[in-house]
Structure 1
Amino acid sequence: MRRAATTVLLATALTLTAAGCGTSEDSSDKPKPSKSTEYKLQPDDQWKQSINAAGITSWPEDAAPTVDEVEAMPKDWCKALKEGHSVKWLLGDGGLYPVGDDWGTTKSEAHKLVVLGADAYCPKQAGRVKAELRKSGGY
């Protein structure tokens, strides 16, 4: 009987020791996900998804911009933003207001598009875009 109790105590001690080794409170023991395994949308994909989610209602269904027109917008905006131009300039004197040949965009939706475009293609400019639009009441 004494031998069986010793065996049970030894087995319990080994189990607790093994369990203690595997559940360290120190998070440095846990593997960290590598940056290469994290998935980040490409700017074109992020832009398309954000446009679909934005629900732009000022574009008529039968005269909405083509994929090529939609993809060109934020690239032109970001180029101008990086040159130091304002959103007001983009959509005014800059001639980059998203109106196309037969589709138009309301001012509030144009502001939304510039924000989404900056978020996707030039995130370093996005804060400035949002700040400008907040200051003018457009965001």
Structure 2
Amino acid sequence: MRTRTTLAAALLALAVLTAGCSSADSKPEASASPTQDPGEAFMSAVTNAGLDSYADGVPPAEELGAFPPQWCDGLDSGHSVEWLYDMQQGNLYPIGQTWGTEKTDAYEVLVLGVRTHCPDHSDAVLEELRDNGLY
């Protein structure tokens, strides 16, 4: 009985040890590489876009950066870009107390936010904007 218990424990230990190992031919997971925070990536993309609306300075990250997660939530719920930006519906047009965004720039900001925060919606957002002649 002791031999069977020892053998079973050894086999279990071997299974646990080899479960985490991978063969030399396997490729590293895509998620294994370090990634940039979506909020930082978004603000960097907005800054680098050189939008006319922000010629005097990009809005504060805590204000503008609050929009992409909300856009993603709206898109996850099946809403359209039109719904997101409608002041009576989504009311998620990128505007603050001391700053605003021109309409064509607002669509660019939305695209940048979707790309950094919920890229699975990028194709649908671009399609809607293009179909409506907005992008």
Q: What do the CA deviations read for 1:43-83 (whole angstroms, capped 9, x no partner)?
A: 12221221111112213627x52220021010111111111
TM-score by length of 1: 0.69
Q: CA distance change for structure 1 residues 48 and 31 in 2, over 3 Å: closer, same or farther?
A: same
Please list every run of at least 4 consecutive aligned residues from structure 1 whose deviation after the TM superposition is greater than 3 angstroms. Answer: 29-37
How far residue 126 of structure 1 moved from its aligned partner, in angstroms, is: 1.2
Match of 1:96 among 89, 92, 95: 92
Aligned position for 2:125: 129
Aligned position for 1:61: 56
How far residue 94 of structure 1 moved from its aligned partner, in angstroms, is: 1.4
Paired residue total: 111
TM-score by length of 2: 0.71
Q: Is the 8 A contact 1:74 1:117 kept in 2?
A: yes
In the alignment, the residues of structure 2 paired with residue 104 and residue 111 of structure 1 have an alpha-carbon distance, to the nearest angstrom, of 13
In the alignment, the residues of structure 1 paired with residue 31 and residue 129 of structure 2 have an alpha-carbon distance, to the nearest angstrom, of 35
In the alignment, the residues of structure 1 paired with residue 48 and residue 109 of structure 2 have an alpha-carbon distance, to the nearest angstrom, of 11
Q: Is the 8 A contact 1:60 1:103 kept in 2?
A: no
Match of 1:70 among 64, 69, 83: 64
